[in-house]
């Protein structure tokens, strides 16, 4: 999904780029910050530059507080955030009705 969003940030139409910018800001997708920096430097129009600025500020604030999209999704869906990290031990899931 991130690849799709990053591609949309480079879309030909300003409307598609603004929609993608709003989406990465809503998700606080910290991995998009580098692309936002590239977009800013490429000299977009003032309307898009304003949206890049707003999205960048929101996402940068999320990064400063330690937020990552993966951890946010894990929390929202009550998943173990370490499932994809083989370097960290995962906790065992308890069966319904157990006291573990």
Give the separation between CA 25 and CA 48, rounded to whole angstroms.
13
Angle at alpha carbon of residue 13, lines to 11 and 52, rounded to 5°:
70
- Residue 93: pLDDT band (50, 70, 90) is very low
Task: Give pLDDT, residue 91.
Answer: 47
Give the separation between CA 91 and CA 80, rounded to whole angstroms: 8
Residue 98 has pLDDT above 50, yes or no: no
Q: Per-residue pLDDT tens for 39-81?
A: 999 878 899 999 999 999 999 999 999 988 888 878 888 877 5
Percentage with pLDDT > 90 across the chain: 48
Answer whether residue 90 shows pLDDT above 80: no
18-25: list long-range contacts, CB under 8 Å, 24+ apart: 18/47, 18/48, 18/51, 21/48, 21/51, 21/52, 21/55, 22/51, 22/55, 24/55, 24/59, 25/54, 25/55, 25/58, 25/59
> What pLDDT shows up at residue 79?
76
């Amino acid at each position: 999904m991130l690849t799709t969003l990053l591609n949309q940030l480079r879309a030909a139409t300003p409307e598609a780029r603004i929609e993608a910018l709003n989406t990465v800001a809503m998700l606080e997708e910290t991995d998009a910050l580098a692309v936002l920096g590239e977009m800013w430097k490429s000299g977009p129009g003032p309307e898009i530059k304003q949206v890049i600025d707003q999205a960048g500020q929101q996402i940068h604030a999320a990064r400063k507080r330690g937020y990552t999209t993966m951890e946010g999704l894990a929390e929202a869906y009550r998943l173990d955030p370490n499932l994809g990290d083989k370097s960290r031990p995962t906790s065992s899931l308890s069966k319904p009705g157990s006291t573990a």
